[in-house]
Protein backbone atom coordinates (compact mmCIF):
# COMPACT_ATOMS: atom_id res chain seq x y z
CA UNK A 1 0.00 0.00 0.00
CA UNK A 2 1.41 3.49 -0.80
CA UNK A 3 2.97 5.24 2.19
CA UNK A 4 3.72 2.02 4.07
CA UNK A 5 7.06 0.25 4.46
CA UNK A 6 7.93 -3.26 5.55
CA UNK A 7 10.98 -3.23 7.83
CA UNK A 8 12.73 -6.60 7.47
CA UNK A 9 14.40 -6.77 10.89
CA UNK A 10 11.25 -5.75 12.76
CA UNK A 11 8.80 -7.85 10.75
CA UNK A 12 6.27 -5.03 10.89
CA UNK A 13 4.85 -2.31 8.74
CA UNK A 14 5.56 1.35 9.43
CA UNK A 15 3.59 4.20 7.96
CA UNK A 16 5.17 7.44 6.78
CA UNK A 17 3.56 9.14 9.80
CA UNK A 18 5.53 6.87 12.15
CA UNK A 19 8.82 7.56 10.32
CA UNK A 20 8.55 11.34 10.00
CA UNK A 21 10.87 12.37 12.88
CA UNK A 22 10.78 15.55 14.93
CA UNK A 23 10.09 19.06 13.67
CA UNK A 24 13.16 20.83 12.19
CA UNK A 25 15.07 23.01 14.65
CA UNK A 26 16.37 26.38 13.49
CA UNK A 27 18.04 29.15 15.40
CA UNK A 28 20.88 31.61 15.58
CA UNK A 29 23.62 32.47 18.03
CA UNK A 30 25.75 35.56 18.61
CA UNK A 31 29.15 35.24 20.28
CA UNK A 32 32.68 36.64 20.27
CA UNK A 33 33.82 34.02 17.78
CA UNK A 34 37.39 35.30 17.50
CA UNK A 35 38.03 35.81 21.23
CA UNK A 36 37.30 32.18 22.04
CA UNK A 37 35.54 29.09 20.74
CA UNK A 38 31.82 29.80 21.10
CA UNK A 39 28.87 27.49 21.45
CA UNK A 40 26.50 27.53 18.47
CA UNK A 41 24.00 24.87 19.58
CA UNK A 42 23.44 21.98 21.95
CA UNK A 43 21.58 19.10 20.33
CA UNK A 44 19.89 16.19 22.09
CA UNK A 45 19.31 15.41 25.75
CA UNK A 46 21.20 13.53 28.41
CA UNK A 47 19.98 9.94 28.61
CA UNK A 48 17.95 10.07 25.39
CA UNK A 49 18.81 8.57 22.03
CA UNK A 50 18.34 10.41 18.73
CA UNK A 51 19.36 10.18 15.12
CA UNK A 52 20.50 13.50 13.70
CA UNK A 53 19.95 13.52 9.94
CA UNK A 54 21.24 16.97 9.06
CA UNK A 55 23.16 19.82 10.67
CA UNK A 56 23.75 22.92 8.58
CA UNK A 57 25.51 26.08 9.78
CA UNK A 58 25.43 29.41 7.97
CA UNK A 59 28.60 31.49 8.02
CA UNK A 60 27.26 34.14 5.63
CA UNK A 61 27.82 36.90 8.23
CA UNK A 62 31.47 35.97 8.89
CA UNK A 63 34.63 37.13 7.12
CA UNK A 64 37.43 35.01 8.66
CA UNK A 65 39.54 32.77 6.47
CA UNK A 66 39.81 30.16 9.23
CA UNK A 67 36.35 29.32 10.59
CA UNK A 68 36.78 26.22 12.75
CA UNK A 69 33.71 24.13 13.47
CA UNK A 70 33.88 21.43 16.13
CA UNK A 71 31.44 18.82 17.40
CA UNK A 72 31.76 17.40 20.91
CA UNK A 73 30.03 14.43 22.49
CA UNK A 74 30.62 12.17 25.48
CA UNK A 75 32.81 9.14 24.85
CA UNK A 76 32.80 6.77 27.81
CA UNK A 77 31.42 9.59 29.95
CA UNK A 78 33.99 12.26 29.00
CA UNK A 79 33.25 15.00 26.45
CA UNK A 80 35.55 14.63 23.45
CA UNK A 81 35.96 16.49 20.18
CA UNK A 82 34.71 14.08 17.51
CA UNK A 83 34.78 16.40 14.48
CA UNK A 84 36.84 19.44 13.51
CA UNK A 85 37.04 21.19 10.16
CA UNK A 86 38.29 24.58 9.03
CA UNK A 87 36.36 26.64 6.48
CA UNK A 88 37.04 29.94 4.70
CA UNK A 89 34.11 32.38 4.79
CA UNK A 90 35.40 34.01 1.59
CA UNK A 91 35.66 30.89 -0.57
CA UNK A 92 33.48 28.19 1.00
CA UNK A 93 29.70 28.24 0.55
CA UNK A 94 27.73 30.23 3.14
CA UNK A 95 25.70 27.17 4.15
CA UNK A 96 27.84 24.34 5.52
CA UNK A 97 26.39 20.80 5.74
CA UNK A 98 28.36 19.78 8.84
CA UNK A 99 26.37 16.54 9.20
CA UNK A 100 24.99 15.37 5.86
CA UNK A 101 23.70 11.91 6.59
CA UNK A 102 22.80 10.21 9.86
CA UNK A 103 24.58 10.13 13.22
CA UNK A 104 23.20 8.32 16.25
CA UNK A 105 23.65 10.26 19.49
CA UNK A 106 22.82 9.03 22.97
CA UNK A 107 23.59 12.21 24.87
CA UNK A 108 24.22 15.86 24.11
CA UNK A 109 26.05 16.88 20.93
CA UNK A 110 27.69 20.29 21.35
CA UNK A 111 28.43 22.42 18.26
CA UNK A 112 31.09 25.17 18.48
CA UNK A 113 32.66 27.69 16.15
CA UNK A 114 35.84 29.78 16.27
CA UNK A 115 37.12 32.44 13.86
CA UNK A 116 40.56 33.93 13.29
CA UNK A 117 39.14 37.38 12.48
CA UNK A 118 38.12 39.93 15.15
CA UNK A 119 35.53 41.36 12.72
CA UNK A 120 33.50 38.16 13.35
CA UNK A 121 32.94 38.99 17.03
CA UNK A 122 29.26 39.60 17.82
CA UNK A 123 28.14 38.32 14.41
CA UNK A 124 25.16 35.99 13.97
CA UNK A 125 25.66 32.33 13.06
CA UNK A 126 22.49 30.48 11.98
CA UNK A 127 21.89 26.73 12.33
CA UNK A 128 19.35 24.14 11.25
CA UNK A 129 19.06 20.45 12.14
CA UNK A 130 16.69 17.47 12.02
CA UNK A 131 16.32 14.90 14.79
CA UNK A 132 14.53 11.59 15.00
CA UNK A 133 13.82 10.06 18.39
CA UNK A 134 14.99 6.48 18.82
CA UNK A 135 12.92 4.15 20.97
pLDDT in tens, 42-82: 999 999 999 999 999 999 999 999 999 999 999 999 999 99
- Write down the pTM of the prediction: 0.83
Instruction: Read off the DSSP letter of residue 106.
Output: S
pLDDT at 134: 87
pLDDT in tens, 9-32: 555 555 555 555 678 999 999 999
Closest CA to 106 of 73, 72, 60: 73
Sketch out the chain's domains with CATH numbers.
21-133 (2.60.120)
pLDDT at 14: 53
Closest CA to 28 of 71, 66, 51, 62: 62
CA dihedral 109, 127, 133, 51 (to 10 degrees): -60
Amino acid sequence: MPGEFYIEGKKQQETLEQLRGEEPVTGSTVASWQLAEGEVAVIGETGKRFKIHDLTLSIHNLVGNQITIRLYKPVYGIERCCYEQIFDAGSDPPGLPVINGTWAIHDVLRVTLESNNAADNNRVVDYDYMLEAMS
